[in-house]
Chains A and B, each alone.
Chain A
Amino acid sequence: MLLLTCPNCGVAADETELAPGGEAHLTRRGPGSDDASFESYLFHRRNPRGVHFERWRHAHGCGKWFHAARDTVTLEVYGTYPAQCAAPPREILDRIAAKHPGFDWEGGA
């Protein structure tokens, strides 16, 4: 059972209270983008076996979106942070690097 702390309302929410929203930090492409980057934005995903930065919505709580850093193999949660962040906070990246030496965020897609 997955527990995530919503950074908006502070509640430690069970996964049944949350709606998953897929990979975070994707650059939104719109009119004027070339086909390749639009395709990539819509469909291509990192889908990593390991650390995943992702979006969640506190659907049955405050209703707001937030981001989480989670391991897709162990389900360990490295932290949650507000959806307004364009990059994961340093402290979360440090926590991940402590578990996975040499880990670094690859940047948004």
Chain B
Amino acid sequence: MKRYSAFAIAREAARYHAGWQRAWASPAPKPHYDVIVVGAGGHGLATAYYLGKRFGITNVAVIEKGWLGGGNTGRNTTIIRSNYLQDPSAAIYEKSRALYETLSQDLNYNIMFSPRGVLMLAQTEHEIRGWKRTAQANALQGIPTEYIGPAEVRRIVPIINIDGPRYPVLGALWQPRGGTARHDAVAWGYARACSAMGMDILQKCEVTAIRQQGSRVTGVETTKGAIGCGKLAIVVAGHSGVLARMAGFRLPIESVALQALVSEPIKPVIDVVVMANTVHGYISQSDKGELVIGGGADGFNNYTQRGSFHHIEETVRALCETFPIITRLKMLRQWGGIVDMTGDRSPILSKTPLEGCFINCGWGTGGFKAIPGSGWAMAELVARGEPGPLAAPFGLDRFREGRFIDESVAAGVAH
């Protein structure tokens, strides 16, 4: 892999840009790999990357039924924050946020991490109490967040209407080092780095069955033939239930469609991320000038990648009141992604009943922010066969033991 640098740009400029390499290879599958990761989204690619980088395991295939980063990695609202309430969540999300800070340098790929700050509005008395509690918890966890009043909110976001009749802004939880990143670049950067380590990324290759011998996984059958493996990591978000069924176990997960939409591009009006959890809307402005808006999730099991129309109406109605300046803005696109919801709204990084098979799922509505930390912890779990300190609290056994990591408030989307 040739490194990207200012020198490389100068070199290519001098020869009509004929020397740029493909970012990753598209090889034919080998008959056997040490580790197969199912799912070439952010989490799957990050798992493969840290397997190579931290543990020297590079005989790895990342299998993807569609195209690389074409699922939720390419469909989210790119928000990165770590202001969670519970200690295990704060630990893994903060690890992730910290990795994002230097990810561009680490991958030699500009992921455009922008620590512009994340505001989570308090629009009810309950939210005021909730965010103050979170700020206190974050102080103990060593995560810089702060509860601020409405005047400070107004200073940070001049276009906000703080005294709306239905949804007044009473305060906010402010995380100055939260922000956004370019979602596609995260997948592409990891893929390029994985490919450079000699890993195979197999796109348009759907897993159709999981091969087992006794209680141990031995490989997968795919639309490109059977491939053997020593270990299997299932990292497929919304379709985790489908893969788990092939592997012979059930998950405490239900899949629903979560929506987002973007407006036509306008001049810069908002330079932070604002999340309004009471009204299920969140908003930030992309570098292209589009307002990126996250909406609600459907309440019923759903694999349509579309979502119900009334959620758009609810989201837009609330945002129009909170940001009157955008009332005449046209929306350009709307889409949905299939999110995997657990009962306690916390993820699962776990061994499974099938020996040698590991699962990483349940990130629900907030997976993008977790990509580097999730991959970091998952690689450790797969390489060692046992979870490290970041992944340990997120095992499947927590449901049987009643050891929930309750983040149903922090997740911040209509459930």
Contact = CB atoms under 8 A, between A and B. Distances in A.
A75 to B, nearest CB: 6
B309 interface: yes
A52 interface: yes
Given A1-B308, A15-B308, A49-B242, A72 B303 contact: yes
Nearest to A1: B309
Interface in A41-99: 42-49, 52, 54, 70, 72-75
B400 A39 contact: yes
Chain B interface secondary structure, helix, strand, loop or mixed?
A: mixed
Nearest to A74: B304
Contacts of A73: 303-304
Interface in B221-277: 239, 241-242, 245, 250-255
A36 B400 contact: yes
A36 B239 CA distance: 24
A52 B343 CA distance: 19
A11 B343 CA distance: 32
Contacts of A23: 254, 301
Given A1-B309, A47-B255, A49-B242, A40 B250 contact: yes
Q: Which of A35, A42, A45 neighbours the largest number of chain B CB atoms within 10 Å of its CB? A: A45
Given A35-B400, A54-B300, A72-B303, A46 B309 contact: no
Q: How large is the interface on A (under 10, 10 to 19, 20 to 34, 35 or more residues)?
A: 20 to 34
Given A36-B400, A39-B399, A40-B250, A47 B241 contact: yes
A20 interface: yes
Given A47-B251, A52-B301, A42 B399 contact: yes
A79 B415 CA distance: 25
B299 interface: yes
B250 A44 contact: yes
B308 A2 contact: yes
A86 to B, nearest CB: 21
Contacts of A54: 300-301
B244 to A, nearest CB: 9
Contact of A45 (B239, B253, B310, B400): B253
Nearest to B302: A72
A19 interface: yes
A1 B307 CA distance: 9
